[in-house]
Amino acid sequence: MKIQENISIKDLNSLRVNQLTRYFCSIETIEECKEAIEFSISKKVPCLFIGEGSNIVFTKDYDGLLIKNNILGKKEHDSQTIEIFSGENWHNFVDWTISNNRYGLENLALIPGTVGAAPIQNIGAYGKEVSSFINEIKTINTITAEERIYTKEDCEFSYRSSVFQNQNNLFITSVIFETSLDADADISYDSLKDYIKTSAKEVKTLTPKDVFNYVSALRRDVLPDHNKEFNVGSFFKNLTLREEEFNNLNSIIKVPFYKSNSLYKVPSAFLIERAGWKGKGLDNIRVSNKHSLVLTTTGNLKGKEVIKFANSIVNDIHNKFKVKLEIEPTLI
């Protein structure tokens, strides 16, 4: 394990924000992970683990040890339960499950990032959330180097949230998933169902592999290529409103919604588009003309510029519609 000093992290985050980190290393084993933690303790600086940097915004230089997670591998516990190490690419893992007759995750295809990052924000798409398939999560405390296994209940999963967002001293080493042997496909989510109807040459019984392919194609159609237009995926969460809040918003503008129990879920992209932001921005950052939740950059800016632009959208939406958008990626 080699420690580097004062290096640019531009190529380590998908927004290509150009900031510096005081120390940097990459790890491939749990032992190297513990060595990195011991180094940060000896230098009395914080440490931060990153995967593909696809859901993080560095708002300033990082005055600590930035650790690139390259811990790879998988352990099959039984025909349905599998442990995946946290440095594995998420989409490649989902592809592997389909190829090995382990079903359920196909609606989450092509989400950028690593397996270790997936539980932190409880990633979700097209009617599914990753928390539905997680049994346990193995962690290391970055302050004490203590190992602990978190049950699903310990993780406190909710919409785009988990206990790991608030306890940033925990590094996820592996995730234990429970997949299904049932090959029934779920296309109940409206936008996915509509896409399949308009794309399919003939109506047939869909397999999970079909859903995987359709979800991948749909995401490529509606989201910018992060290798060409640098982004972190959705920059804003969808709104989750109580009835009074929803009624106030709906009195200002009629909005599409989905009701879950007593809460109303409203697509933030709808409001951003109605406010005139789609495709608009500055020379080095703008709202994508493909999807209004996505901010894209040219890869030549500082983190504070990203946040300033995002806040201008948040403030405008609040002024026009009296609701406040919440930023989705983790801010450092």
Instruction: Using the 3D structure, point to which of 39, 69, 99 is the last residue of a domain.
Output: 69
Residues 115 and 171 in one domain: yes
Contact 243, 262 (CB under 8 A): yes
Catalytic residue among 160, 174, 268, 286: 160
Q: Which of these ranges, 193-202, 204-213, 257-266, 279-288, has the smallest mean pLDDT?
A: 193-202
Residue 99's CATH number? 3.30.465.10
For residue 29, the model assigns a pLDDT of: 94
Tens-place pLDDT, residues 73-83? 999 898 889 99
Residues 63 and 79 in one domain: no
Residue 291's CATH number? 3.90.78.10
Give buried/exposed letters for 109-136 (b at 16+ CB in 10 A, else e). Answer: bbbbbbbbbbbbbbbbbbebbbbebbbb
Annotation marks residue 156 as catalytic: no
Tens-place pLDDT, residues 75-109? 989 888 999 999 999 999 999 999 998 999 999 99
Annotation marks residue 245 as catalytic: no
For residue 128, the model assigns a pLDDT of: 92
Q: Does the pLDDT value for residue 202 go beyond 80?
A: no
Residue ranges making up the domain that contains 46: 4-69
Residues 279 and 296 in one domain: yes
Residues 161 and 250 in one domain: no
Give CA–CA dist 252/261, Å, rounded: 23
Catalytic residue among 14, 174, 234, 292: 234
Residues 112 and 41 in one domain: no
Instruction: Using the 3D structure, point to which of 162, 178, 194 is the last residue of a domain.
Output: 178
For residue 203, the model assigns a pLDDT of: 55
- Three-state DSSP class for 164? helix
Instruction: Using the 3D structure, point to which of 53, 69, 85 is the last residue of a domain.
Output: 69
Tens-place pLDDT, residues 237-246? 999 999 999 9
Tens-place pLDDT, residues 296-318? 999 889 999 999 999 999 999 99
* Number of domains composing the chain: 3
For residue 36, the model assigns a pLDDT of: 95
Annotation marks residue 180 as catalytic: no
Residues 78 and 26 in one domain: no
- How do beta strands 147-151 and 134-141 pair? antiparallel
- Is 221 inside a domain boundary? no
Residues 86 and 170 in one domain: yes
Tens-place pLDDT, residues 171-187? 999 999 999 888 788 88
